[in-house]
A and B are shown apart, each in its own frame.
Chain A
Amino acid sequence: DAGVIQSPRHEVTEMGQEVTLRCKPISGHNSLFWYRQTMMRGLELLIYFNNNVPIDDSGMPEDRFSAKMPNASFSTLKIQPSEPRDSAVYFCASRISGRTDTQYFGPGTRLTVL
């Protein structure tokens, strides 16, 4: 099993640019989570999907952030326009809802907005 796959692993962009982060969950997992981790705020849940449907997006900081899950094997987190304060490591995690509570994390995308 390849585990949760995230791309890119590192992203450096300039303020105002659009950023798209990608995630491929573990095959068969039907819940997907996006987290943001910073030194100041720790690990924050941004949004999660269950069976491709967004369940709770209350953690999404602003309208500049959007997430989609067009199918069971792919999700994107988009920031438009990006700002320096968005610099963080973004993690995607997946799990099987209803069978196990364990989340499996991807390696993360380190985003730097200049």
Chain B
Amino acid sequence: SQQGEEDPQALSIQEGENATMNCSYKTSINNLQWYRQNSGRGLVHLILIRSNEREKHSGRLRVTLDTSKKSSSLLITASRAADTASYFCATDARNNDMRFGAGTRLTVKP
């Protein structure tokens, strides 16, 4: 069963704009991760944020975590056409057990 739920399901923006995707989950977690999937390919890990962290940065990526609201957000700044992909959040509630959301399909128009 899925744990994380991404919002929105689809997002279309212009190149250079920022993209924000949200993830909500149901149970307590050890950490939350964001993955990216290009069409027809496997998922690639982007960033991990632990339950005791509130914000994390990696290049143009910024992730926040609010454990009281059981939610996370992924911000991609200055988006590029190459950022077009599906983005998934995954929660690790128990050791070795990770659940993925349904994903947000991001389209960045050049």
Contacts and interface: CB of A to CB of B under 8 A. Distances in A.
Nearest to B50: A101
A101 B42 contact: no
Contact of B45 (A55, A97, A103, A107): A103
A33 B98 CA distance: 9
Contacts, number: 57
A108 B43 CA distance: 9
Classify the secondary structure of B's interface with A.
strand
B41 A108 contact: yes
A43 interface: yes
B31 A42 contact: no
A56 B93 CA distance: 14
A97 B95 CA distance: 8
Interface residues of A, number: 25
B2 A42 contact: yes
B48 A42 contact: no
Interface string B72-110: 000000000000000010101001111111110000000
Interface of B: 1-2, 30-31, 33, 41-45, 48, 88, 90, 92, 95-103
